[in-house]
């Protein structure tokens, strides 16, 4: 997973993430990773429209965004 985050930071690729907040709330977000640390990373969150910090341990799922085609 860390390799995926590092690659996203290097290439500027967007990722889709399902995340568990400190309050126990689950959210689905589209992000662009800015910086990766040992236990957390910062990313631009398209949902909140700002740079946010996320804990690596709270990621439930992460990968390339799924593109939905109309009429499919």
Instruction: Quote the pLDDT of residue 67.
Output: 67
Model pTM score: 0.84
Give 10-residue mean pLDDT values along the chain (72 residues).
93 96 94 97 96 97 76 44
Please report the domains of the chain, with CATH numbers, ordered by start residue. 2-63 (2.30.30)
Supply the DSSP string of 2-70, one letter for each residue.
HHHHHHHHHHT-EEEEEEE-TTS-EEEEEEEEEEE-SSEEEEEETTTTEEEEEEGGGEEEEESPPPPPT
């Amino acid at each position: 997973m860390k390799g995926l985050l590092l690659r996203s930071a290097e290439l500027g690729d967007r990722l889709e993430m399902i995340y568990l907040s400190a309050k126990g709330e689950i959210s689905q977000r589209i992000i662009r990773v800015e910086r990766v640390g040992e236990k957390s990373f910062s990313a631009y969150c398209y949902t909140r429209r700002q740079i946010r910090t996320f804990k690596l341990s709270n990621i439930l799922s992460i990968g390339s965004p799924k593109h939905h085609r109309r009429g499919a």
